[in-house]
């Protein structure tokens, strides 16, 4: 998982959609049951548990501007990351877009294409930031059109190719759910705002893997 693949709405850098960084080194425990990361801005701890791994993420605003309520970073959970030291996992590809779900108003709903499903609690504020007031954004709507189906909780899951396993990602603070990008990934954005300069916030998440 890439902790900081992209960002939205003035998180880290000013802009409605900015690129992140994925080359920070993780430190692994001797038994490979725990991984830690400390960049100054992001401190993360991932621990293996029976049905996946728990995530503790501390985010510190060490930049020169305050982050608004909608500010978010976008981790990328991908079975097809292209770096040579990370093996691909075709077992969790979803090339037909038939096995990936977000949590919507009707329960688990199929993520059909590359549309973005915003947190319904923040949707009104987000629409006010758009060019047309209806959810069109210059920075990303050409690839991630705003869906009229909102997400209600920070959870995305995907079934394996043979339907016997489930993987997924959850965060207790989130902005949006999106996926099916070139890396065949799931993007559940982490809500890091509001966060004033010099403040920190702790966020909890989980990566799922179970039968």
Report which of 207, 165, 163 is spatially closest to residue 186, judged by C-alpha positions.
207
Query: pLDDT for 96-144, tens place per residue?
Result: 999 999 999 999 999 999 999 999 999 999 999 999 999 999 999 999 9
Whole-number pLDDT of residue 143: 96
Angle CA(7)–CA(157)–CA(77) in degrees, nearest 5?
Answer: 40
Whole-number pLDDT of residue 68: 96
Question: Residue 59 — pLDDT band, cuts 50, 70, 90?
Answer: very high
Buried b (16+ CB within 10 A) or exposed e, 45-57: ebeeeeebbbbeb
DSSP label of 90: G
89 to each of 66, 198, 207, how far by Cα in Å? 39, 39, 15
**Cα 184 from chain centroid (whole Å):** 13
Distance in angstroms (rounded) separating the CA atoms of residues 43 and 47: 14
| CATH number of the domain that residue 198 is part of | 2.70.98
Range of the domain at 16: 2-210
Distance in angstroms (rounded) separating the CA atoms of residues 91 and 73: 27
Number of compact structural domains in the chain: 1
Distance in angstroms (rounded) separating the CA atoms of residues 72 and 128: 17
pLDDT of 81 strictly over 80? no
DSSP label of 25: P
């Amino acid at each position: 998982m890439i902790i900081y693949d992209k960002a939205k709405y003035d998180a880290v850098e000013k802009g409605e959609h900015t690129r992140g960084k994925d080359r920070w080194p993780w430190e692994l425990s001797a038994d490979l049951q725990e991984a830690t990361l400390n960049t100054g801005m992001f401190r993360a701890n991932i621990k293996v548990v029976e049905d996946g791994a728990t995530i503790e993420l501390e985010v510190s605003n060490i930049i020169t501007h305050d982050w608004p309520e909608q500010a978010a970073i976008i981790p990328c959970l991908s079975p097809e990351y292209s770096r040579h030291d990370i093996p691909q996992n075709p077992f969790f590809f979803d090339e037909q877009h038939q096995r990936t779900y977000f949590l919507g108003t009707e329960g688990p709903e199929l993520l059909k294409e590359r549309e973005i499903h915003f947190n319904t609690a923040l949707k009104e504020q987000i629409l006010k930031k758009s060019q047309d007031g209806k959810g069109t954004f210059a920075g990303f709507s050409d690839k991630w059109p705003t869906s009229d189906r909102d997400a209600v909780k920070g959870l995305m899951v995907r079934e394996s190719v043979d339907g016997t396993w489930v993987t997924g990602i959850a965060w207790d603070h989130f902005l949006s759910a999106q996926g099916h990008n070139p890396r065949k990934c799931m993007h559940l954005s982490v809500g890091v705002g509001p966060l004033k300069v010099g403040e920190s916030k702790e966020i909890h998440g989980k990566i799922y893997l179970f039968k």
